[in-house]
Amino acid sequence: MPETTALLPPALLARLERMELVSRKVFRGRMKGERRSRRKGQSVEFADFRNYVAGDDVRFIDWNTYARLDRLFLKLFLEEEDLHFYALIDASGSMDFGDPTKLYFAKQLAAALGYIGLARGDRVKIETLGQPPTRPAPVLRGRRSLWPMLDYLETIESPEAVSLVDGCKNFCLRNSGKGIVLLMSDLMDKTGYEAALRYLLAQEMDVYVIHVLSAEEMEPELQGDLELIDCEDGDKAEITVSAPLMKRYKRTLAAFIGSAREFCTRRGILYVLARNDVGVDTLVTGYLRERGLVR
Amino acid sequence: MLPKPDHLFAQLGWLPQLVNMLSWWQWAILAAVPPAIVLLYFLKLKRRPLEVPSTYLWHRSIEDLHVNAIWQRLRRNLLLFLQLLLIFLAMLALLRPGWRGAKVAGDRFILLVDNSASMQATDAGPSRLEEAKRQAGELVGQLSSRDAGMIISFSNFPQIEQMFTRNRRQLRQSLDAIEPTARPTSLAEALKYAAGLANPGRSSEDASDVQVADPMPATLYIFSDGKFAQVSEFRLGNLDPVYMPVGSDEAANVGILAFSVRRHVSDRTMLQAFARLGNFGPRDTSVAAELRLNGKLIDADQVQIPAGQTQRVAFDLTVVDTGMLQLRIATRDDLACDDVAWAVVNPPRRSKVLVVTPGNESLEIAFGTGAVRELADVTFGSPELLGQPPYEQQAAAGAYDLVVYDRARPKVMPQANTLFMGALPPGEGGEQAGEKPKEGAEEKPAEKDREGEEASPPGVWRAGLKITSAATIIDTNSTHPLMQWIDMGDVTLYQPTPLEVPPGGASLIDVQWIGADKASHVAPVFVIAPREGFEDAVMGFVFLGEEVTADGSTETFIGTNWPIRESFPVFVLNFVHYLGGTGTARDGATVKPGEPISLESPVPGAPLEVRTPGGQTIELKEARPGRFQFTGTSELGVYEVRSGENRVERFAVNLFDAPESDIRPSPDVQIGRGTPVAAQTASSETTRRELWKWLLLAGLAVLLVEWYVYNRRVYL
C-alpha cells in the first residue's frame, strides 16, 4: 500500500482499491488491460468457436475438435482491454474559492477516480482546461503511477485564463481517443457552458459533469452595500443586500443548476452537483456509485 | 383681464390657504435640503468591495433591476424616503396650511337650542330638535380647544344646559340631554340669560367702579324655527347673533288651536264642544277630526281647511255629567303634539256666596233670580255676624267663594273674593283706618293732594272726599267681564265717593263732576283689584244710605237708581259668574303647557295630589289655606286633582298656540331694533383653521419610524 498525500487519505485509498470505473459505452482499448471486452481476442478466457475460413491464424485452430469432427474450428477467446479515463479539471480563477477550494476538491476527486483507474490498469490522463500544448499531461497506467499522478496534480494551479469552450475544444483536439471524460467545473462561464459540452459530446465520449459549487455560492452570507468583483475578468456588480435580492439570487442559482442538469440529461451526459464542503469519499462511494460511474 | 392671484384664492375659498413664513433666501436653503439628501444617498455608496468567484449569477439576479436602476435604488431605500418625508412635512408645516373653517370670530359661543313644541316636527331629520342638536354638535366639533361654549335650551322658559366650558365632550353631553317640550316659544328670556355675561350690567355710572365685569363678546347661535315673538326691546351689545333655521318650508301641519266645552245655548241640559283647527301647510287639506269621550269614539267629522286658514268644528253632546273629551286629528302631519286636545267636563259645582248686609231688598231680589240660584248658594247675614267665631273660621278657611259686604267691614279680609259696597276693605297700613268713608259719616278735610300722592302699597285702598255736587257716569269698563252687557247710561249716583285704583287694579265706573274749585274732575267710583289670588271689588256708592241732616237727625236716602234698572240683575249674574268662580266649574280649566294653575281644595286643610297624564303623582303644598298652585304642567294631557281618595277635578293642558302650530320656519328673526338676523344655512363664517401642529406631530412619528428602520435594518 503506497503512502499518499492529503489528496487521498489512506482510508479512502483502501476503499477505492475495490472499485472500478464503469463505462456505459464500449471502447476499443489500445493495450491489453484488465477489462473484459466484447471483442474476441487473445486472452486465456474461452469465448466461442467459429468456422475456419482461409487466412485465419492457424494457431487458434482447435485441433481436438478437428480430430473428432474432421472439420476445422477456430477457438475464440475473450479480449481483455484497458479503459481511457480522462479527468478534465477547470482551473480557472473562479475555482480557487471556497474552503476547501473548489479546485482542491476537483483535484481530490480526480485523484480518487484516477486511482481507481490505475488500480484496474486503465489508462488515466488528467488534464486541465488550459493545458499548455508544450507540456502535455502524462498518460498514467498501472498502480505504481499513483505517485506520478499525485505529483502531477500538485502542479496544477489556478488561475488559468482560458474559457470553458476553448479548454474543451483544445482537449478534444489533443485527445482523439474514446473513453470516459470527467469534467469538473463550476460552469460559471459568462459565454455559457453549452458549447463546451457539445465539443465533448462530439467526441462520442462517455461524458460526466461534476458541477462543483462552493457553499458560499449556494448560500451566500452577504450583508450591506457591496461591490462584487469578478475574480476572473474584474467585472463589478453593485448590490445592496436585501431579502428580496437574496431570494432572487437563490432563484437564479436554482434556475442555473436546473438548466445545466436538464441540458446534460437530454444529451446523455451524467450530471452530478457537488458541494465543496461535502467530502470526496461521500461523493465517490455514494453519489458516483449510485450514478454508475464506479462500482 | 385676469383676476389677480389673491382674487383667485378668494374665489376658491375651499382651497387650502398657505401663509409664507420665511423670506426667499430661507426658502432657498430649505428647498436645497431634499436634493442634498438624495445627493448624499448617491454619494454615500461606500460599497464594500468583495471578490467573488463569479458575478455571473449576481448579474443575472439584478438584471431586471438595472432597467431603471436609479429609481430602483431609491425605491429600495426606505430610509431615504422617510427622511424626505420628514423634510416635506417640516416644509409643509412652515407653509402653515390652513383652510376656511366654520367660525372663530370670537372665542366664546352661546348655543341657543329651541326645544319648544314646534321643534318636535318631523320634517327635518328624526325631529327638528334632533336636527338642531346635530347642527349644534357639528358646531361644537369645530370649536378649537381655546373656545368656550355655553348651551341654553329655550321654550317659553330658558334653561342653561351648560355654562361656559372648553370641554367639548361636556358640551356634547349637555346637548344630548336637551329634551323636547310641548311649550310655546319665547326668545326674550333666553337672550337675557345669554346677555348676562356678554353685556354685564353697569352697577354704577361711575367709570371708576372697578367692580363692573369686563364685557365678554360672544357669538350667539340660535338653532330654531324662528316661531317666536319678535324681541324688539333687547340690546344685543356684545352679542353677535347667527340664526340657524331648522325645518323645511314644505312642512305641512294641521293643528287644533282651540277646544272647549260649553252648555248649549238653547238646551241647557246639553253640552257643545267647539274646536278651531288651523291649516299651516302650503296646500288645502281635509282632515278627519275624532271626538272621544273617556277614550270611546263618540263623534267624528271631516273638515276641509284651505291653506293658511282656520276652520271651526262643533259637536253636540248629549248629557255628559263628567268625563274627559279628547279631540284628535286622525290625519298624520309633521307635528303630532298639536293634533290632539283635551277638554274636561267636571261635575257641576255651585259656588257659595255670603251677603253681609244690614238689610237691602234690591240685593235680595237680585240674588234671588233663578239664574243666580242655579249657579250659587247665597246666604244672607247681618253685620253682627262678622264678629262671631263661626264666620271668622269659615272666612279664614275659604269656605265661601264670594262675600259681599254691604255697608259692613270685616276686621280681616276673608279667603274669598269680595265686593264692598259703601265701605273700604280693612287696610293693612294703620294710617288708613280713619279714612273709611262710611256712608253718612262726617266729612273729613281733604288730607292729600291727589297729584302729589305717592303710589299706595298693594292691598291698601284709599278714597277721596264724598262728591257733593252732581256726578255723572261718563265711562264704564265694558271690556271687563263684570261689566259686560251692562248699560249704565240711565243710572244716576248720589254723592259717590271717588276711589283710587290700587296697583294692578282696574276702574269699572268713572264719574265726572264739577268740584268746589269750579274745575271738572274725573275719578273712578267702582274699582276692582287683585289680592293674593282673589279679587276685591269696591263700590264708592251705596244703594240705600243714611245721612245726618243739618238738624242732627238721620235720614235714609237712596244712593242710586241702579237696582231698578235692567242692567242690575245682569250685573249680579256676571258678578256671581266671575267672582263666584263658577266659570270653570263646568268645562274644566285648560292651561297652556308650562303655565301655572290655581287649585282649590273642597275641604279646607285637606292636601291635594295631582296625577299627571304620564302617571306621576305630585303632592301639592298649600300656598294659602285651601289654595294650591301647580306648576308642573309641562306635559300635554289631562291632569287629575285628587284629595285623598276622591277626585276633586280634572284639568287639561293643551298646546293651543298658533305660532307653534305654524311650523314653517321663519326666514329671519328680529332681535333688537336693528335689521333682522337673516337665516344662515351653514356655518360659513370664514376663519382660518391651521394644520401645522399636526404636520409636526406626523414629522415626529416619521422620525421615530426612521430611527427604528435604521436600527433594525428593515427592508422592503
On whether any CB of chain B is under 8 Å from the CB of A234, the answer is no
- Where a domain ends, among B547, B579, B611? B579
Same domain, residue pair B184 and B241: yes
- Reported for A100-106, long-range contacts at CB under 8 A and 24+ positions apart, including other chains, are A100/A276, A100/A277, A101/A158, A101/A214, A101/A276, A102/A186, A102/A212, A102/A213, A102/A214, A102/A276, A102/B53, A103/A156, A103/A158, A104/A276, A105/A212, A105/A274, A105/A276, A105/A280, A106/A184, A106/A185, A106/A210, A106/A212
The grid cell for B662 is 305654524
* Region of poorest pLDDT, from B353-357, B568-572, B599-603, B658-662: B599-603
Q: Domain for residue B284, yes or no? A: no
A149: closest CA among A115, A184, A183, A105?
A115
Tally A–B CB contacts below 8 A.
Answer: 89
Give the ranges where B382-428 is alpha helix by DSSP (H).
389-397
Is the Cβ–Cβ distance between B219 and B243 less than 8 Å? no
Same domain, residue pair A103 and A184: yes
- Where a domain ends, among B579, B613, B639? B579
Tell me how far CA of residue B455 lies from CA of B451, B459, B533, in angstroms: 10, 12, 21
Evaluate if residue B584 carries a pLDDT over 60.
no
On whether any CB of chain B is under 8 Å from the CB of A248, the answer is yes
The reply to whether residue B45 touches residue A236, judged by beta carbons under 8 angstroms, is: no
Measure the N-to-C terminal CA separation of chain B; round to a whole number of Å.
Answer: 52
The pLDDT tens digits of the residues spanning B441-463 come to 333 333 333 433 444 455 578 88
Cross-sheet strand order for the sheet of A123-128: A139-141, A123-128, A84-89, A180-185, A206-213, A270-275
- How many folded domains does chain B comprise? 4
Evaluate if residue B481 carries a pLDDT over 60.
yes
pLDDT at A254: 93
| Upstream peptide bond of A159 is cis (omega within 30 degrees of 0) | yes
Q: Domain for residue A129, yes or no? A: yes
Using an 8 Å CB-CB cutoff, list chain B residues near A222.
50
Of A97, A228, A243, the CB nearest to B55: A228
Same domain, residue pair A75 and A179: no
The pLDDT tens digits of the residues spanning A102-115 come to 999 999 889 888 88
pLDDT at B688: 59
pLDDT band at B438 (very low <50, low <70, confident <90, very high): very low
Q: Give, for B690, the enclosing helix (H) or strand (E).
A: strand B688-690
Q: Domain for residue B446, yes or no? A: no
3-class SS shares of chain A: helix, strand, coil, % to 5 = 40, 25, 35
Q: Domain for residue B466, yes or no? A: yes
The reply to whether residue A94 touches residue B716, judged by beta carbons under 8 angstroms, is: no
Same domain, residue pair B678 and B698: no
DSSP 3-state of A230: strand
pLDDT band at A260 (very low <50, low <70, confident <90, very high): very high
Query: What residue in B sits closest to A92 (Cα-Cα)?
Result: B53
- How many folded domains does chain A comprise? 2
% of residues, chain B, pLDDT over 90: 1
The pLDDT tens digits of the residues spanning B25-58 come to 888 888 888 888 888 877 766 678 888 888 888 8
Same domain, residue pair B237 and B125: yes
B220 forms beta bridges with B110, B241
Same domain, residue pair A162 and A97: yes
Q: Domain for residue A99, yes or no? A: yes
Same domain, residue pair A126 and A102: yes
**Residue A285 DSSP label:** I
The reply to whether residue A231 touches residue B48, judged by beta carbons under 8 angstroms, is: no
Evaluate if residue B686 carries a pLDDT over 60.
no
Same domain, residue pair A14 and A49: no
Using an 8 Å CB-CB cutoff, list chain B residues near A218.
none
Q: What's the complex ipTM? A: 0.77
Same domain, residue pair B364 and B399: yes
Same domain, residue pair B533 and B621: no
- Which region holds residue B481: left if phi is over 0, alpha if psi is between -120 and 50, else beta? alpha
Same domain, residue pair A280 and A139: yes
% of residues, chain B, pLDDT over 70: 80
Q: Which domain holds residue A118?
A: 10-27+83-215+271-291
| Separation between Cα atoms, residue A146 and residue B542, nearest integer Å | 167
The reply to whether residue A217 touches residue B73, judged by beta carbons under 8 angstroms, is: no
Same domain, residue pair B635 and B679: no
Same domain, residue pair A125 and A49: no
A211: closest CA among A153, A269, A281, A150?
A269
Residues 6+ apart with CB under 8 A from A141: A31, A82, A118, A121, A122, A123, A124
The grid cell for A237 is 456588480
Evaluate if residue A257 carries a pLDDT over 90.
yes
Q: Domain for residue B315, yes or no? A: no
Q: Which domain holds residue B386?
A: 351-426+461-579
| Separation between Cα atoms, residue B160 and residue B158, nearest integer Å | 7
The amino acid sitting at B666 is: S
Evaluate if residue B91 carries a pLDDT over 80.
yes
Specify the residue for cell string 453593485.
A238
Specify the residue for cell string 293732594.
B449
Using an 8 Å CB-CB cutoff, list chain A residues near B57.
188, 217, 249, 252-253, 256
Average pLDDT of span B483-496: 84
On whether any CB of chain A is under 8 Å from the CB of B60, the answer is yes
The C-alpha R_g of chain B, in whole angstroms, comes to 40
**Domain containing B606 — which CATH number?**
2.60.40
On whether any CB of chain B is under 8 Å from the CB of A95, the answer is yes
Q: Domain for residue B193, yes or no? A: yes
Q: Domain for residue A182, yes or no? A: yes
Same domain, residue pair B388 and B475: yes
Q: Give, for B278, the enclosing helix (H) or strand (E).
A: strand B271-279
Q: Give, for A169, the enclosing helix (H) or strand (E).
A: helix A164-174
Same domain, residue pair B408 and B551: yes
B147: closest CA among B192, B109, B95, B100?
B109
Average pLDDT of span A247-259: 91
The reply to whether residue A231 touches residue B52, judged by beta carbons under 8 angstroms, is: yes
Same domain, residue pair B125 and B22: no
Q: Domain for residue A20, yes or no? A: yes
The pLDDT tens digits of the residues spanning A8-31 come to 888 888 888 878 777 666 555 555
pLDDT at A35: 59
Q: Domain for residue B317, yes or no? A: no
Of A94, A225, A227, the CB nearest to B54: A94
**Domain containing A118 — which CATH number?**
3.40.50.410
Same domain, residue pair B554 and B625: no
Same domain, residue pair A129 and A199: yes
Beta strand pairing call for B637-643 and B627-630: unpaired
Tell me how far CA of residue B67 lies from CA of A225, B63, B70, in angstroms: 19, 7, 9
| Separation between Cα atoms, residue A253 and residue B57, nearest integer Å | 7
Using an 8 Å CB-CB cutoff, list chain A residues near B716.
242, 244
Give the ranges where B567-636 is alpha helix by DSSP (H).
567-579
**pTM (two decimals):** 0.46
| Separation between Cα atoms, residue A37 and residue A47, nearest integer Å | 11
User: For all residues of chain B together, what is the average pLDDT?
Assistant: 77
Q: Domain for residue A192, yes or no? A: yes
Axis crossing angle, helix A194-202 with helix A164-174, rounded to the nearest 10? 10
Same domain, residue pair B404 and B355: yes
Same domain, residue pair A113 and A39: no
| Separation between Cα atoms, residue B274 and residue B290, nearest integer Å | 13
Q: Domain for residue B309, yes or no? A: no
Of B47, B61, B77, the CB nearest to A252: B61
The pLDDT tens digits of the residues spanning B348-390 come to 667 788 898 888 888 888 888 887 887 788 888 888 888 888 8
Same domain, residue pair A209 and A116: yes
B524 forms beta bridges with B510
Give one DSSP letter per residue of A171-209, joined into a string.
HHHH----SEEEEEE----TT-SHHHHHHHHHTT-EEEE
Q: Domain for residue B241, yes or no? A: yes
The grid cell for B374 is 242655579
The reply to whether residue A186 touches residue B54, judged by beta carbons under 8 angstroms, is: yes
Farthest-apart Cα atoms in chain B, separation: 160
| Separation between Cα atoms, residue B713 and residue B78, nearest integer Å | 10
**Chain A neighbours among B 31-50 (CB < 8 Å)?**
45-50
- Where a domain ends, among A44, A63, A81? A81
Same domain, residue pair B544 and B407: yes
Average pLDDT of span B97-123: 75
| Separation between Cα atoms, residue B661 and residue B238, nearest integer Å | 33
